[in-house]
């Protein structure tokens, strides 16, 4: 979503019924991060089709012996991978300080349709802020999320609001 980093600041949040305890005191990862953020590492690769991108989640040993920074350390790498990184909370435009939650996680969980019937095998779930706040509802929708999405009028573009789109693309972070 938004070039939230450029767009500025805000906060994050907590969860629902299936959500883990307090999110405020834990360190969480953002699951739609940029490769230059603290703690960044890819956890899935874009797959599917142009019209229906789906994240193929990495297995635990997928990145062993692969120095992704050497070839994929630039922002364009989000066209290939989904990255996780340390949640920046108020430094991110999607963070809702008042609710102390990630507003993007909420929009993904409520405004996008589920694309799978079962929880994806995701390596970052124990530290994922979206899951901590929204529970399994967001995981069933997460595989359709790409961090860098083309400009347009689709559901991904809609949830990318309220941040201002770039010239021809929108960043879901």
**CB-nearer residue toward ligand SF4: 27 or 151:** 27
What value, to the nearest 5°, has the Cα angle with vertex 44 and ends 107 and 75?
A: 80
Residue 128 found at the interface with ligand SF4 (CB under 6 A) = yes
Residue 173 found at the interface with ligand SF4 (CB under 6 A) = no
**CB-nearer residue toward ligand SF4: 16 or 151:** 16
- The rounded distance, in Å, linking the Cα atoms of 157 and 43 is 22
CB half-sphere exposure, 142, CA atoms < 13 A? 31
- Least Cα distance to 63 among 83, 39, 41 occurs for 41
**CB-nearer residue toward ligand SF4: 95 or 130:** 130
Kindly state the smallest distance separating residue 119's Cβ from ligand SF4, in Å: 7
List 48's β-bridge partners, or say none.
53
Backbone angles phi, psi at 107, to 5 degrees: -70, -40
Residue 83 found at the interface with ligand SF4 (CB under 6 A) = no
Q: Are 115 and 9 in contact (CB under 8 A)?
A: no
Residue span 15-54 as binding mask against ligand SF4, x where in contact by CB under 6 A, dash where not: ----------------x-----------------------
Site of interaction with ligand SF4 (CB under 6 A): 31, 120, 122, 124-125, 128, 130-131, 138-139, 142
């Amino acid at each position: 979503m938004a070039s939230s980093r450029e767009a500025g600041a805000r906060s994050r949040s907590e969860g629902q019924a299936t959500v883990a305890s307090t999110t405020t005191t834990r360190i969480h990862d953002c699951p739609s991060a940029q490769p230059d953020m603290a703690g960044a590492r890819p956890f899935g690769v874009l797959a599917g089709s142009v019209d229906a991108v789906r994240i193929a989640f990495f297995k635990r040993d997928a990145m062993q012996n692969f120095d992704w920074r050497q070839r994929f350390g630039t922002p364009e790498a989000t066209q290939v991978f989904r990255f996780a990184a340390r949640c920046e909370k108020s430094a991110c435009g999607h963070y809702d300080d008042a609710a102390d939650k990630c507003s993007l996680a909420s929009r993904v969980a409520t405004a996008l349709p589920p694309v799978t019937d079962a929880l994806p095998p995701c390596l970052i779930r124990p530290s994922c802020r979206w899951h901590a706040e929204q529970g399994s509802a967001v995981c069933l929708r997460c595989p359709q999320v790409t961090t860098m999405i083309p400009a347009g009028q689709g559901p991904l573009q809609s949830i990318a609001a309220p941040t201002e789109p770039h010239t021809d693309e929108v960043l879901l972070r």
